[in-house]
Structure 1
């Protein structure tokens, strides 16, 4: 059985060398920290999805989404079948410096983490890769 990939987007907000991550409550990345994001809704562009999901999960209204990376993410069952398949568009975003993040929607918790901290946390490989690449730019 071939799966049709679903569109998803996530958004990276950086402040003072730390990145805003949410603790996922739901699969496919349950109990892992990731950039705020989720599945696209009907008719949404990837950047619209990133901004909506970011606001739903953190309460922060972000702006100026810039495409940073794209991933073809598949999750496999023990028998090798694909259980989930997403095309993930990752954007960097901006927000007001005084905006306070609060975990909501499927975010169980959230926090600001440095790349060194992210390396030691349960995160999807795509999150670590993006954080490492962004750290090199600073």
Structure 2
């Protein structure tokens, strides 16, 4: 079992993104999420993290799979990835300063723009698949590329 989750809250053609103030990935935009506590499953940890970081009570969400990579020590590490489709009438004012960083709605086109250097390294590679394909996916990140299996 991996230690972390990342969750993307989608409303229409936007995702709620977090510009992190702390390491890892300080200063870049990513989904919300965090560490799974010892007594939690990845699903429960994802729900808790979304609520803690945004105040949004995620009712229905989709586990979209995992992203894995090899650590410098040669060990397998990874993260559980989730997608939540928010109600179109959800009112959530941004930008919003939180203890983790700044939350803001970002258009999917902006997030995936090839010249956007402010998005977490792997997100632009796996996010298009998560948003378009149903099912649970396994992504492997190796040598700067993400592979779908």
TM-score (norm 1): 0.76
Which of the residues 99, 105, 127 maps onto 1:112? 105
> 1:44 deviation in Å?
0.7
Q: Distance in 2 between matches of 1:132 and 1:124?
A: 14
Q: Which runs of 5+ in 1 are unaligned?
A: none
Q: Does 1:98 align with 2:90?
A: yes
Provide the secondary structure at the position in 2 that maps to 1:31.
coil
> 1:131 deviation in Å?
3.0
Which of the residues 61, 74, 89 maps onto 2:80? 89
Q: Does 1:56 align with 2:52?
A: yes
Change (3 A) 1:52 1:121: farther
2:11/2:86 contact within 8 Å kept: no
TM-score (norm 2): 0.71
Aligned length: 127
Please give the per-residue CA displacement for 1:87-123, whole angstroms capped at 9, x wherever unaligned. Answer: 21011124443242644231x1111112221132412
Provide the secondary structure at the position in 1 that maps to 2:60.
strand
Residues 121-132 of structure 1: pairs in structure 2 closer than 5 A: 121-132=117-128
Q: Which structure ranks higher in relative contact order (CA pairs < 8 Å, sequence separation ≥ 6)?
A: 1
Residues 1-138 of structure 1: pairs in structure 2 closer than 5 A: 6-73=2-69, 86-96=77-87, 97-100=89-92, 102-106=96-100, 108-118=101-111, 119=113, 120-136=116-132
RMSD: 2.6
Please give the per-residue CA displacement for 1:10-53, whole angstroms capped at 9, x wherever unaligned. Answer: 21111111111011111111111100001111111111111111
Change (3 A) 1:86 1:33: farther
Q: Which runs of 5+ in 2 are unaligned?
A: 134-149
